[in-house]
Amino acid sequence: MNIVARVSDEIETPQVSMEIDPRLVPVLETVRRRNPAEPEFHEAVERVLRTIGPVIDKRPEYLEAKLVERICEPERQVIFRVPWIDDEGRVQVNRGYRVEFNGALGPFKGGLRFDPSVNSSIVKFLGFEQVFKNALTGLPLGGGKGGSDFDPKGRSENEIMRFCQSFMTELWRHIGEYTDVPAGDIGVGEREIGYLFGQYRRITNRYESGALTGKGLGWGGARVRREATGYGTAYFAQEMLRAKGSSICDRTVTVSGSGNVAIYAIEKVQQLGGTVIGCSDSGGYVHDPDGIDLPLLKQVKEVDRARLDRYVQERPGARHVAGGRVWELAAEVALPCATQNELDEEDARKLVENGALVVAEGANMPCTAGAIGTLRAGGVLFGPGKAANAGGVATSALEMQQNASRDSWTFDHTEARLVEIMRDIHHSCYEMAEQAGVPGDYIVGANNAGFVRVADAMLAFGVV
């Protein structure tokens, strides 16, 4: 049979008990009771609690110090009104959030998401994930997340600027280079960070570059930051294959999404010799058997800010499937890079049937719990987002390093650091999974490795 079957044969399906440790059941119950009607947050906590049995067994002092309880409770949550005036002169009111989840390892760090789906549950789930992700990078970063239910779609440049200014008029008092360092996420890119930074500077009267990351290159931004999440995801998938004695080179790859993460995951997969045959947006997906034409995709998505059907107008060999899901396509590597819960059990079944070898999450929690179960049962290697997409926040930490030393690194130097960090993250997850007796289980590896780093720092600080 072909190389796909050969590599599949080598993959041992990780055997791990997904039963929650009975000692952690009351913690989950408390989280559910304290945070009613927050399903995404409950799910993110449950997924971690189900997998940290190995370190809890080894380190009973964590239980005595109530570290699991403490890690599940955000240090601080800020919810605020964001009033602004639209182009018609009407007053609009949105809600702003910043959840400073855990600062044991460094200033709170994590993106801002502007999307109508944003609520307390989404911000808390993202903040909780961020704590472990940031710990895995090995860099001095706490975890947090924020955003607003503001929908930037269809808004003018001026409206976006006014919204960002109003948002920062409250947020500034909660952030700072040693306190909390926001960045971008869905709906917040370099343009929005510019407006946010401009208002922060104006209010504080300080050119404090380290207070925000994802800045433009001309005003304190870092090279590779824009590409970092997508590049890092491709590198992580490559490491997963390398650990199996294989490579992403010559593999077929599908990517969901066509935003920042997806575009640069595609770019790096192509540079590593893989062929990306499909990508998607909320309107459907594109199948391009010859491999995605990246300059055309960038033109459509980054310059024209148009829908994906525009891509096939310029590319005769490609087809657009309106309303379809890109996971229908047979590919050896799948990189979900759009948003949470976008890949369900049915999608996972198709991936398994079509011989997928690796799924690595470029987005945060894009695979449902059911999908992960199906992928694991089908022998597919699974790289969870908190490890696979950590390249973005890691490069934010590199931006903070450059800001602190008023330096500016070259693209190559920055990318070399990113590669090193992604390899280290892979190594930590891989080793931890081995130690836990579940080789190849990157979920157990990532959750335990991240947890230990945060817990050990908290233990050292006493009950604070």
When asked if residue 440 is in the footprint of ligand GLU (CB under 6 A), the reply is no
Confirm if 48 and 447 have CB atoms less than 8 A apart: yes
Closest approach of Cβ 128 to ligand GLU, in Å?
Answer: 12
When asked if residue 393 is in the footprint of ligand GLU (CB under 6 A), the reply is yes
Name the residue with the smallest CB distance to ligand GLU: 111
Confirm if 67 and 450 have CB atoms less than 8 A apart: no
What are the CA-CA distances from residue 130 to residues 63, 389, 394, 425 (Å)? 22, 10, 11, 14
Confirm if 41 and 128 have CB atoms less than 8 A apart: yes
Closest approach of Cβ 123 to ligand GLU, in Å?
Answer: 12
Radius of gyration, alpha carbons of the chain: 21
Work out the end-to-end distance of the chain between its first and last CA atoms, rounded to an integer number of angstroms. 58
Query: Is residue 91 classed as helix, strand or coil in its secondary structure?
Result: strand
Exactly one of 96, 103, 107, 110 binds ligand GLU (CB under 6 A); that residue is 110
142 vs 278 by CB, closer to ligand GLU: 142
When asked if residue 109 is in the footprint of ligand GLU (CB under 6 A), the reply is yes
325 vs 386 by CB, closer to ligand GLU: 386
Confirm if 229 and 264 have CB atoms less than 8 A apart: yes
Confirm if 303 and 330 have CB atoms less than 8 A apart: no
From 90-98, 108-116, 193-201, 428-436, give the range in contact with ligand GLU by CB under 6 A.
108-116
Give the tokens for residue 408. Answer: 């500016």
Exactly one of 44, 67, 71, 183 binds ligand GLU (CB under 6 A); that residue is 183
When asked if residue 396 is in the footprint of ligand GLU (CB under 6 A), the reply is yes
Residues 67 to 106 in contact with ligand GLU, rule: CB under 6 A: none
What are the CA-CA distances from residue 109 to residues 142, 146, 178, 195, 213 (Å)? 6, 10, 10, 19, 9
Closest approach of Cβ 456 to ligand GLU, in Å?
Answer: 22
Entry field: residues in the chain: 464
From 165-173, 195-203, 389-397, 440-448, give the range in contact with ligand GLU by CB under 6 A.
389-397
Closest approach of Cβ 302 to ligand GLU, in Å?
Answer: 18
Which ranges of 299-390 does DSSP label H, i.e. alpha helix?
Answer: 309-313, 345-353, 369-377, 385-388
Q: Residues binding ligand GLU: what is the number (CB under 6 A)?
A: 10
Closest approach of Cβ 394 to ligand GLU, in Å?
Answer: 8
Closest approach of Cβ 186 to ligand GLU, in Å?
Answer: 8
Quote the CA–CA distance of 255 and 291 in Å, as a whole number.
12
Residues 266 to 325 in contact with ligand GLU, rule: CB under 6 A: none
When asked if residue 392 is in the footprint of ligand GLU (CB under 6 A), the reply is yes
Instruction: Tell me, yes or no, if 58 is annotated catalytic.
Output: no
Which ranges of 141-224 does DSSP label H, i.e. alpha helix?
Answer: 157-171, 190-204
Quote the CA–CA distance of 296 and 273 in Å, as a whole number.
19
From 114-122, 201-209, 331-339, 391-399, give the range in contact with ligand GLU by CB under 6 A.
391-399
List the beta strands (DSSP E) in 115-271. 143-148, 180-183, 252-256
Using the structure block, give the residue that is written with the tokens 């999307």.
115
The active-site residue, picked from 109, 124, 133, 145, is 145
Exactly one of 14, 53, 54, 111 binds ligand GLU (CB under 6 A); that residue is 111
When asked if residue 450 is in the footprint of ligand GLU (CB under 6 A), the reply is no
Catalytic residues: 145
Enumerate binding residues for ligand GLU (CB under 6 A).
109-111, 183, 185, 213, 364, 392-393, 396
